[in-house]
Every structure is written in structure tokens, then in C-alpha cells.
Structure 1
């Protein structure tokens, strides 16, 4: 009878043996097959590497194998199994390579690449905490799988592992399976394997069954995500695993791994999870390193923060990092709008402008936007370098200088740039024209950062402005600060209740780079319509000739208006950096996106809700017309198209199914309407006759599938949207 060994507090540490020799050439070929963006064996080892350092991992490969070594790298320890006698024999081949101080040995298979690192860590943890001789990784499943079943007594203790071939009617209902990863003291498991080898038995599972039968203390760590159980023993199983990898790729996460990931508008994450001061410091260190490598560090950086939780603390932490890297810092005060930082970078000649914000995201988020010296957003290759380097850095790699010392020595200079920013806007806006107009407006900053700057501009223009939601409230009234129809109900109601007292309602989002407009009747004016009005105004009233740039989800009426003017129009991907790049390419006078961002030629290379509000006021003053009148006048030129937008949660299964369905389905008609073209530049845009279209696009910043349509009539727009919804949920 086996006598469990007493367990004191471990004096050594854990190590791992990964069995990657395979039973034959076919199984080894599966290990080196592509799965997602890696191979099966690479994914399996990546999970083990996430738990243990490379110098504590031993990989057993087949005799003469070089392919797996080449895939995994030379930082691991390799041993060869000279003959494929079995998994127990493979483990004994690793005996002399296991570190001598190993207290707990993790044994895993290279053909189970879907195990999560958390499961392996949980297995080792339970082995240690419960003083077990052996810990098993198990799972409760409903479908039949080729794994041994775990049998327990009434007290819940494991009494046996029953191989599938031995199952009888009495045991066939058992659903807890032995996944095939183990944790044990090396001497314990190797002693059992050696004892069996003398009898010609070389299977590791038999050694495990023997330990259980001898009364060893055996504990389990249960997997609840049964996708982890999927092994790779055939091409069909490889295909199944590929679908699981895709689902995981698209699974909504809260950034609990703390990795920094840039989206279309900077880095954003949930506060306390992905968004931490530690990550802020690492990202700033990566940007500082880039500035130093480029030789632009002497130009310094300008840093500001919005009204969100941790924004001020983050701005100061960022300043300490750049100061620690001998990079001069201009630190802006509290409540800084994003467009002011976009303006400040070229105004000061700084290498980078940095704003702590997550724009219109919900209150529990924060993030960072980075602007280049000209005020433009970095393109993907540059932000990829930032995030990749930041994610490789340790806390000890970050160089800082205490903020108080940095201020005393002049490395960090506190400065307010509200006045230069406002002055720059007022040089472009016809302030005198607005002063005599008697405009009356209601402004909703949505508890964001536009009150000071926009309020100053409106005061200078003698506009009678009333502000709502202007206090400092980092909860933003409990909603995401996005200036859309759904969230501007208070502004709309105030104008409707004003009995004609107001000419206009204005709104900006949380960091003031997006605009929302409500006309004198209390009707919400879509950004699509606003862009039409402003393009007409710039071209026909201000005499600023040039084309227009819109993103792929913005109205085609802009193209019609450009054609009417004899000007060029251009379409680009979602992301304002693509809008400004397109404007530069064709010399456009206006660039915008349906989500509320716009800028004009001669202003900053980023969207600016504050400037846009001032431009709308100028348009009303100089034309002497109301928004509703201007809109009807433009429709006389362009005709009318009706837009609709919807979003559905982008489940991992949908992320797989929708692209496959699009690839497999010939898109000849959307309902009864013939398709004239399909564009896959950014999502899938289905082009119909007469500038009608439908767009499917997975969001780059949140787990949502967005759907947009534009059609001749509201009824047709509804019909197209219903078709899209049916397509994605079929």
C-alpha cells in the first residue's frame, strides 16, 4: 500500500515537463500544424511559459527532432525520447533534466494547446495548498470524449480513473474526465512510472491510476471552460480547435492581463484592470524611448488630462517618466480638452502631445491618446511599436524623476494654453459676424472639458449661452458622454420647452473632440447632415474651394455635393487619422465622420468639437438662416438619403460565422435590391444603386458588430437594416 508522504512547506519551486515526442510521424505533424497565428506546440508551450520561467521547463521531443526545437526556441531544455514506448517512458527521459530543487512537477501534453495558463496555475496551487501527492486537471463535460472518467465516492474523494474502453452501463453516466495534466512531487510520480516500467507498462495514465488505487492523496482542479479540453489528435480536431481559437480571440475581455492595446482612437481600458498607473508609466517609457531613438527627445512633450478618475494623477505620473528620461515636459492644468493638446503639440514644437482620456467611453474607463509633432495621430505601425515595447517593460525598467524635483529644476513646466488655443480658433472663425447676430444657444458639455474654452469663445462672440451638465462629475451622470440622440434628451427637451427662445443646441463629448447639434425646434441633427451643411457653407459662403473626405460609414450625400461643386470626394477607413491623411492627399477643405468628429483645412489635424461648435455659430450668423432652413436648401441640391445605424453584441461565434457567411454567400442582392459592388476595405460595405449601401463592421474598440445603411426612403433604410440583422443572426 502506498503511504502518502508528509508535506512541509515547499523549499524548492515548480518545474514542468511537456511531452512533445508524439507517438508517430502523423502525431508530430499535428503538433507543428498551424493553429491561429502560431502552431499547436507553440500555443501549448506559451501556456506553460505563462506559468513558469523558461529555465524551469523541459520539453521531451522525438529522437533526432529539430523542427519542434526550431519552433520553440533555444531558451528551453530539450531531451529526446529514443523510442515511442509511451508517455510514462517519455517522462523518465526527462528525469535528469528536471531542476534538482523542484518541489512540484507539472506534466502537460503538447497536443492540448487550449489549456489556459490559469488552469495550469490553479493545478499547481491546489497541489501545494492541499499537501497532495498528486493533483489532476479535470473537467465536467456532456459530450463523449476519449478521456478517462473520474470516479468519486460519496464523500467526493477520487476512487478511480476509468478508461473509456472499460466503461460499463454503471459507470457510463460519469461526466468528470481526466484531462491529462498533472502536478506531483517528481520523486512520487517517477517512482510509480519506474515500478510499472519493470512490468513493461509505459503509460503515464496507468501510473496515475496506481497512485489513486494505493491510497495516495489526490486532489483536482476543475476546468469550467470545456473548450480547454479539446486535444489535437486528428485533422478534424485541429479544425475544431481553430474555431475555438477564433472565438477566444474575439471574446470580450476586461484587460485583466493588463496588456496595453491601441485601438482606432488611442489606448483605452477599464480603470483598475487594464488601466493602471503602472501601465501609464510603461507606455510613457516606451514613447520616451522612441523619442530618444529618433533624436527628438530635446523637443519635449506636452501632457494634459480630462475630468475622469485618475486623469490628473496619470498626467503627473506621465510627466515624471518623461522627466526621468531627460525629456522636457509642459504639463497642462486640470480639465484639458483633447483638441487643445492636438493644437499644443505643433504650437510648442513638441515631439509628442499626450492626453489622458478615454473620450466618450463609459465612466469606468480611462486611457491615453498620443499625437505627433504636427498634431496628427500616429498610424498603426507606430502605435504598434509603442504598445509592443510597453508590454515588454517591467516596472523596474521605467525611469522616473520626482515631480516636485522636476518642477524645481525646470524639467517640468506648468503652463496654461487655453488662451493661445482660443485665440487660434478666433483667427479662423469670423467672430465679428457672430457678434451682431444675437444668437441664443444651449450648450451641453456632458460633464466634460469644453466649458472653459467654448464658453470663452461664445462670450467673445457675444452669444447668449446657457450651459447644462457643466460641473465636474467623473461619473458623467451615469452614462457614456457621447453626444448622440439617445444621450442628449435633456438638451433636446430644454430647447423644446424654450418656446422659440433658443436658436441652437450644442454638445461636445467627454473630451470635447466630437460635436452634437440640436436645431431650433429641438430636432437632433445627425453629423451626416451637419457635415453637408458645413461643406456647403465652407465652399459657397466662405469661398474655400476643395474636396471632402469621409469615412466608410458616413453619408454619400457628401459625394453628391462635391460632384455638384466639381470637387473631389474620398472615402477612408474608420479612424480620424485616416480622415486627416485623406484630406492631405486630395487637399480637402473638410473631413469628417458620422460619429461626430470633423476638422477643416487650416485647422488642427484632429477632430475638434469646440472648433466645430464655433463654426456652426458662424454659419448661422453669416447666412442668417436656421439649421432647419439650411438643411432643406441643401437637400434641394443633393436629394435626400436616409440613414440608420444599429449595433449588436459581437459574440465570438458571430466573429467567426459572419465573415464565413460573407465569404460563402454570393452577394448579388440585398433583399430585392441588386448589388453593384462590394468593398472589404474596412468591414464589408455592400454598394447598391443610387448611392444606397449597407455596411457591416466589427468595432475596433468594443465587442460590437456595427451596421449602417443609407437608402432613398426611410422604409427602404429599415428594410436594408432588417436584412443585415437577419444576415448576421442567421
Structure 2
């Protein structure tokens, strides 16, 4: 049945056709579209947008006579015609007539686009095509609402909402700029039926007019229906006609890489700590299944599918449902699954992979992110995080999969078949910690601690360990609350006000305050006076303790945002220190390389040699308690002892929401104007290992780094005095905001 024209559905990729104009008007313009732009060329990017909405075998590219360069870039799956004697852009489109009319399936509509407009989004072209059909228009054009003067674009004139004229540059008064007032211009992409399109172009050329822009004026003059689709991002309008415009386009493309996308882009992207996304946008059960299918494929390819996987989830929204969905995918791929009960800490899954000999451990969590986020962390057979090349493979394969590519087996059937086994591993995990931590040394110490798990997952395991140590412990914020009390569950100074207040009001009642983040892999410490102890200081204390009381030798590894006092202490011990990129996978890799006894990062993560290859806030809490019991000293006393060895440095950090413009402008300004001083302080060296780290004299430094998990630019400084630290941080803030 054929629908009436007014009710017809939008054409599909199989009954549309497209003409892409790539012949250029001279050698310079033809050469320009073949230049690199990002990871492709101008013409490749422009045609890639058309490919998304029109089938490859229905795209006709008009090239210059004898051209081979454009063909070589675009490939053999497109059709090419040469623009011979027909002049102008109107003649270029007409050159494609015979090819399009010869299609086995006639085209209902033809899209005309350009090879020099790579910044047009495919969504805008799709909007134009869809609106053309829904409006039952004779001709539709792509319009843009702009506030800057673009004299080469025709100005659209409307009466009662209908397009009545298009004024080209020569038709407008000399002072007809926008003056900052929004104006509507004709971008130059069109959609029409092939009959109307080619008939009007033939008549135009016969009358001596060869500009494609005349097409719309002819349709208006004949009182035919004309519609438009408006775009409001003026970046899309920019063509590539000069090298300067090519550079501007490169900046725009880089900016788009970091532009937060909503419903049009739900790709899986791994950061430094796994895959994380906002629930309902990037984080969906469909994406969970696609990612698990990709990992299942990798497991089978490696021939380790018989080892199975272990899967758990934390307390966030959708965590349990996601763990079940993941189990069904692996079971569907004939891979055995050990499914942990809900509310497990990430370190328990890190431990479980090598404990069970599983091919992979998977935990559904978004760590310390705000409650609207969720995600997944993947651990290898030894409990380590996969490095970037591995996670790139997972995400690329997952993003290439469709829903139909995912194989699942219903959980009830999988359980009955023995492919999914439910197992509690809390006791083996706790037992393993207690083989490393000296439980007996703590007993009898009469320590009293208060713990804030931040509505996370540590209370069962950590509570059991503290009970075994005979430590009097009190837990706050221990109930199941997926909103985490309205804050991000990160154990930092700003979010531990209740813990700090209770210790101060306890008037000596507590020896220690401890906190873990939402998935329990990070630690926060408050001393007996209610002072928050930075992880930088905690790492110093534990490194000293492991060396001096436990006889552990072997150096230390830190990420580049962590205190250089660790380097000083390592030098004091005659041991090696190693700086690595942010991401705990780099810390554990560095530990293995130098045989380090301790590895950590200023954001709250640490581990020791002989324990799991990942950060563990529960283990860290137990080790801190052991340190207090064996030394017989308070945290405040231990800090002063260490400062006598290392001296004192003061750290500050801040973060600002990073815009796409900042991600382009900040690195470029650093490259364009190499730093010799920060204020009066000479620069000793600059590292681009991860972000930009500016090293000053006497272990002072400043770091600018864009987060790998959040849209934030992080700033860190370390200096000889609090005043100097503030000065350095203020300089960074000023540098970041200047000109952005």
C-alpha cells in the first residue's frame, strides 16, 4: 500500500541518493579538501557524515576530470562521475543525473552536499532529509541561525514563517551585517526529488546561470513549497576554503571530542578507572551487555573461556541488575560465571579473580562518582587492571556490536545448568587480609576507631577484620543508600565533615577515624584530634612503617600527582622511587618493575607488595590500625617523626569544570609560550607524561591534567610553604582561565 504524499514516512538509506560535490573550482580548493583534518582528511570527514544516512552504493561523488586522489581517499564502494563541460556547482550536480536515474531502485529524494564542509553533523543532514518528507516539500534547504557576519551565504527572508526570498551578497545593502542580531542564512545543502532537481538545473544552465544557489530562488519564484531545517551551532557552517579555515576546523574537531553528548552518543569509553557513564545515557543495560559480549569474545579468542569469570556489584542504582545481565551474557557464551551476592567491595573482586583462577573479574561500580553514575571495572586473571591497549580493544569491539550480536542465557536456566554459580567470598577475602596484617599485634591495644563507609560496601569486611582485632569500632553512614546521602562518596576533606565533627566532639574518645569510598578501594584518614590526614601523608607514614617496623625493602611508586616527599624518604632509605601516569594500573605495573614495597596515589588508593594488584581501602584501613598498635603512637606523633626525616612540603589541589574549548586552548598556549618561570620561581623542567607537570626547585611542582573519568581539569601543586602553594595554585587558575 502506498501512503498519501502528506503521510509518507521519511525515506530510508535505500531509497535516498546523495550527490557530494568534490570537483572544486581550482587546483587550490581541490588540494585543500585532501589535506589531513584530525585523523582523516577534509573530504573523508565530509563524506563520512553522508555515509551515515545514505547507503554507500547510492552516493555519487562528483570529481574533477582525471582525479584519482579523492577516489583513493574515499574508496571503491562509492560511485564517481567527472565534471566535464558543465560549469559551476549547478553543473556539478547535473553531472550526476544519469548515474542517479540509472539506480535499480529509483530515488525518492536526492541530498546535495559538499566535500569542503566536514563540520556539518550527520544529525543536521538527517534533520534536513526527515523534515523534507514530513513537510511534503518540493525543495528543502539547510539553514543556519548565526550572529556573525557571513557575507558569502545567502540571507533567508521570511514572511509569516514561509521563505519568500534568499538575498545573495550582491543583493544586500553594503551595511547589511547582522550586527550581533541573529540572522538566518542558506548553508547550501539541498534535498529535492530527482525530477525537480535535475529539470530545474537543466533549465538554469540553459539560461546561463550555473550557481546551485539559484535553485532555491527558482523554486520560490514558481510558488512551489520550500522548507528548511535550521542548525544553531555556527561551527557546522564553516567551509574549508583557506589553510586558516583548516586550522580553525581542526580546533573545532578537537573541541568536539570532549563535548558531552546526550542521547545521540552512548558509546562505551574506558577512562583511567574503567568504564563510567551517567545512568540512562551512556550507562544502560544494553551497553553492559555489549561490553560483556566483547570481553566474552576476547576470552574465547584467548582460549581461557574454561576458566570462567567472577562478577559482582556495589550498592549503586542498577548494579545488581547489571551484574545479572553480565552473568547472562557470559553464560550465553558458554563461559562459567561465579556470581557474587550484591554489595561487594571492588577489592574483593580484585582478590577473587586470582583466588578462583578466573579469566576475568568484573565489578559493577562507578567508584567515588556522584550517584547518577555507574560503570564497570575489569580485572585480569592476576587481579591487575588491563592497560590501555586492552581496554581500547574491549570498547572498540563493544561499540561495533549491535544488540543482535549479543548472546545471552536466562539466569534461571544458567543456574540450573551450572553455568552460573552463586558464591560468597567474604570469608576467603578477610582471611587473606588477616594473613598479611598482624591481627594478634593489634589485640590488647585497646584502640577505638570510628569508620565512615560513606553508604558504600566496606562495613561487612572491614567490620569483621576490626572485630577479629578486638578493636572497638563504630560505623556511621553504613545503611544501603544508593543516593549516598546526596554527595559523591569520595573520602576527602570536604565530604567527611560528620566523621571529623564526631572525633572532635569525642574529646579524646577515638584514636582514629577512617573512611572508604563507595566501592571501598580508597581510604580517608582523620587523626585523633579531628584533623584530616591527606593520602600523601598517609603514604609517607605507611612507607616508613613498612620499612622500619616490618623490615620491608624495595622502594615506592607514586603517580605524578602525589607528593615528592615519598622520593625524599626513598632516598633516605637508599631505595628507588618511581613516578607514573595517573591510573592505578600504572602504579601496580611500576611496582612490579622495581619490586616496590608500596604504591599509591594522592586520591586515596594504595596497595603493598604481596597483596592484590589493585587499590584496597579495606586492607589499607587494617594496615593503619596495625601501625598504630605496633608503634604505640598516634597519627599526629608519627607525622612529626617523618617530617624530621623528609622536611615538609605543602600540597593543594583544585578542579574546574573543563569545557571543550579549554581542552584545546590550554595545551596550545603551553606549547606556544614555553614556560621559564611561574611568577618569580624558575622552571627546572616540564613533563608531558600525563598532562603538563611543571617542576620547580626543591621538589616544588605544579600539575595541570584533564581527568580521564570526569569533565574536570585538575590542578595540583606542592611547595615549601602554604603561602607558596597558594601562590602556585592561583597562578594555575589564572593561566587556565586567561583567554578561555
Query: What residue number does 2:8 align with?
Result: 9
The answer to whether the Cα contact below 8 Å between 1:63 and 1:83 also exists between their aligned partners in 2 is no
1:102 lines up with 2:107 in the alignment: yes
Kindly state the Cα deviation for residue 49 of structure 1 after the two structures are TM-superposed: 2.1
Tell me which residue corresponds to 2:710: 702
Q: Which residue of 2 aligns with 1:728?
A: 736
Give 1:446-485 correspondences, 5 Å limit.
446-485=454-493
Distance in 2, Cα, partners of 1:172 & 1:564: 70
More off after superposition, 239-248 vs 371-380: 239-248
Q: CA deviation at 1:663?
A: 1.3
Offset, 1:8: 5.2
Q: Following TM superposition, by how much is the alpha carbon of 1:135 offset from its aligned partner in structure 2, in angstroms?
A: 1.3
Name the residue aligned to 1:37: 39
Instruction: Give the Å deviation of 1:666.
Output: 3.0
Match of 2:29 among 27, 30, 37: 27
> How far apart, CA to CA, are the structure 2 residues paired with 1:406 and 1:10?
43
Question: For 1:172-183, what aligned pairs fall within 5 Å after superposition?
Answer: 175-183=183-191
Shift of 1:647: 1.2
Partner of 2:611: 603
Counterpart secondary structure, 1:447: coil
Q: How does 1:76-475 map to 2 (within 5 A)?
A: 76-83=78-85, 85-98=87-100, 99=103, 100-168=105-173, 175-254=183-262, 256-475=264-483
In the aligned structure 2, how far is the partner of 1:702 from the partner of 1:121? 30
Tell me which of 687, 691, 694 is aligned to 1:686.
Answer: 694
Residue of structure 2 in register with 1:649 after alignment: 657
Q: 2:573 maps to which residue?
A: 565
| CA deviation string 1:662-701 (max 9, x = no partner) | 1122322111111111111111111111111111111112
Whether the 8 Å contact between 1:311 and 1:357 is mirrored in structure 2 is yes
State whether structure 2 residue 509 is matched by structure 1 residue 497. Answer: no
Give, in whole Å, the separation in 2 of the partners of 1:453 and 1:64. 73
Distance 1:8 1:418, change over 3 A: closer
| CA distance, structure 2, for counterparts of residue 83 and residue 534 of structure 1 | 80
Aligned to 1:517: 525
Q: CA deviation at 1:453?
A: 0.8
Q: Give yes or no for contact 2:6–2:134 (8 Å, CA) kept in 1.
A: no
User: Which secondary structure does the structure 2 equivalent of 1:334 belong to?
Assistant: coil
Residue pair 1:683, 1:696 contacting (<8 A) in 2 also: yes
Q: Is the 8 A contact 2:144 2:237 kept in 1?
A: yes
Distance 1:201 1:512 in 2: 72
| Preserved CA contact (<8 Å) 1:106 1:181 | yes
> 1:254–1:269: 8 Å Cα contact kept in structure 2?
no
Q: Following the alignment from structure 2 to structure 1, what is the Cα–Cα distance between the partners of residues 554 and 128? A: 65
Provide Cα deviations, 1:461-499, integer angstroms capped at 9, x if missing partner.
111111111111111111111110011111111111112
Query: Which stretch of structure 1 is more off in the superposition, 150-159 or 598-607?
Result: 150-159
Secondary structure in 2 aligned to 1:15?
Answer: strand
Deviations 1:607-646 (A, max 9, x none): 0001000001111111111111111111111111000101
Q: Unaligned 5+ residue runs, structure 1?
A: none
Helix, strand or coil at the partner of 2:213:
helix
Query: In 2, are the aligned partners of 1:483 and 1:514 still within 8 Å (CA)?
Result: yes
**Aligned mates of 2:535, 2:548 — CA distance in 1:** 19
- Which 10-residue stretch deviates more, 54-63 or 419-428? 54-63
What does residue 58 of structure 2 align with? 56
Deviation at 1:170, TM superposition (A): 8.4
Shift of 1:246: 2.0
Offset, 1:84:
6.0
Residue 185 (structure 1) shift: 1.7
Partner Cα separation in structure 2 for residue 278 and residue 6 of structure 1? 36
Render the CA deviation track for 1:500-529: whole Å, top value 9, x for unaligned. 111111111111100001111111100000
SS at match of 1:354: strand
> Is the contact between residue 148 and residue 161 of structure 1 (CA under 8 Å) also seen in structure 2?
no
Q: Deviations over 1:5-26 (max 9, x none)?
A: 9655158533322111212221
Root-mean-square deviation (Å): 1.6
Task: Identify if the C-alpha distance between structure 1 residues 92 and 367 changes in structure 2 by more than 3 Å, giving closer, same or farther.
Answer: same
| 1:72 partnered with 2:74 | yes
1:147–1:177 contact (8 Å) kept in structure 2: no
User: Aligned residues, how many?
Assistant: 726
Pair 1:171–1:537, CA change in 2 (3 A): closer
1:610-689 aligned at under 5 Å gives the runs 610-689=618-697
Residues 10 and 130, structure 2, Cα contact 8 Å, conserved in 1: no
TM-score when scaled to structure 2?
0.96
In structure 2, C-alpha distance between the alignment counterparts of 1:324 and 1:6, rounded to whole Å: 46
CA distance in 2, matches of 1:111, 1:545: 62
Alignment partner of 2:249: what SS? Answer: helix
CA offset at residue 216 of structure 1? 1.3
Give distance in 2, aligned partners of 1:583 and 1:476. Answer: 33
Cα contact 1:256–1:273 (8 A) shared by 2: no
Q: Post-superposition shift, 1:65?
A: 1.8
